Amino acid sequence: MSLDLNQPYTHKIEALKIKPSARRLLVSIADQRVELVENNRAISAFRVSTSLKPPSNLQDSNGTPSGLHRIAQKIGSGAPIGEVFKGRVSIGRRYDELDEEAQRPNLITTRILWLEGLEAGFNQGNGCDSYQRYIYFHGTNHEDKIGQPASGGCVQLLNQEMAELFDAVEAGDHVYIG
């Protein structure tokens, strides 16, 4: 099940002199998968969709940013599966309750894990800041695209799996995207 991202994660935290988190998410853009690791043991893995555009840490690139992040905020605890969020606030409706036109774009659904980059000048700071770019893990109304690049920069999961992942992690847990 291992995505072989534990070693790059370890090298990164050592280079940055950061203590590893006991629980972490390892995202493989190449494999379109995320692995939940706890105490250096893989617990579970899920298919994801990262950016349709090439990976990029640059502002306005719509690319999924790489490198070391942490979960800055968890948003949507207890919301119904498929609940739609705009500006990180529930609109009080599930995506399947919206008309066809409203369902056309890629919506942010179910839960949000808002990421903060930990590498100054790479995924943190002016022109490349993952937090200011609103990079999240979230559910989607286009579940048929999970497993292939399809997002505008975020990491998307099936709605039920997003709820499961949300419940399994805490703010402050590390996320390594490679």
Q: Report d(CA 38, CA 73) in Å as an integer.
A: 19
How many Cα atoms occupy the beta-carbon half-sphere of 87 within 13 Å? 2
Within a domain: 1: no
Q: DSSP string of 16-64? A: HT-PPPSEEEEEETTTTEEEEEETTEEEEEEE-B-BSSPP--STT--PP
pLDDT at 103 over 60: yes
Within a domain: 17: yes
Q: Tell me: the pLDDT tens digits for 155-171?
A: 999 999 999 999 999 99
Give me the sign of the Cα torsion angle 106, 76, 119, 36.
Answer: negative
How many Cα atoms occupy the beta-carbon half-sphere of 20 within 13 Å? 18
Within a domain: 72: yes
Q: What is the pLDDT of residue 3?
A: 61
Going by their DSSP bridges, the two strands 108-117 and 89-94 should be labelled as unpaired
Q: What is the pLDDT of residue 171?
A: 98
pLDDT at 2 over 70: no
The residue segments making up the domain with residue 24 are 6-177
- pTM value is 0.96
Q: Domain containing 79 — which CATH number? A: 2.40.440.10
Q: What's the number of domains the chain is made of? A: 1
pLDDT at 153 over 60: yes
Q: What is the pLDDT of residue 113?
A: 98
Q: Tell me: the pLDDT tens digits for 5-42?
A: 889 999 999 999 999 999 999 999 999 999 999 998 99
**Contact by Cβ (8 Å): 36, 165:** yes
Q: Tell me: the pLDDT tens digits for 44-79?
A: 999 999 999 999 999 999 999 999 999 999 999 999
Q: Tell me: the pLDDT tens digits for 109-123?
A: 999 999 999 999 999
Neighbour count for residue 161 (Cβ, 10 Å): 19
Within a domain: 78: yes
